[in-house]
C-alpha cells in the first residue's frame, strides 16, 4: 500500500505485521521506513532502534536509517 500512496492501509498492515510477528526486526524496520516517509521522525527512529536491538545484522535497517537521515537532515 505504501508504494501506491495508500498510507492509512499501509499503517494498518505495518502495525498488524509488527504485532503478529512479536516485534520482528524486519517489520519494525519497514514500519520505521513508513514513519520516515510520512515525516514522523521520532516514531521512525524508535522503530529503527527497536529493530536494531532485535537484530543488529539486519542490513535493511541501516539502509532505512541512512535514507531517513538524507531525507530529513
Cell numbers linked to 7:
498510507
Mind listing the pLDDT tens digit for each residue in 33-57? 999 999 999 999 999 999 999 999 9
Tens digits of per-residue pLDDT, 29-39?
999 999 999 99
DSSP code at position 2: G
Of the candidates 16, 7, 21, the one whose C-alpha atom is nearest the C-alpha of residue 51 is 21
Query: In 3-state terms, what secondary structure has residue 27?
Result: helix
How many whole angstroms from its chain centre is CA 62?
11
How far is CA 71 from its chain centroid? 14
Amino acid at each position: 500500500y505504501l508504494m501506491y500512496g495508500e498510507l492509512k492501509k499501509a499503517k494498518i498492515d505495518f502495525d498488524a505485521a509488527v504485532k503478529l510477528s512479536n516485534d520482528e526486526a524486519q517489520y519494525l524496520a519497514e514500519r520505521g521506513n513508513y514513519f520516515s516517509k510520512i515525516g514522523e521522525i521520532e516514531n521512525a527512529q524508535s522503530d529503527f532502534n527497536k529493530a536494531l536491538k532485535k537484530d543488529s545484522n539486519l542490513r535493511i535497517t541501516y539502509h532505512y536509517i541512512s535514507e531517513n537521515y538524507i531525507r530529513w537532515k
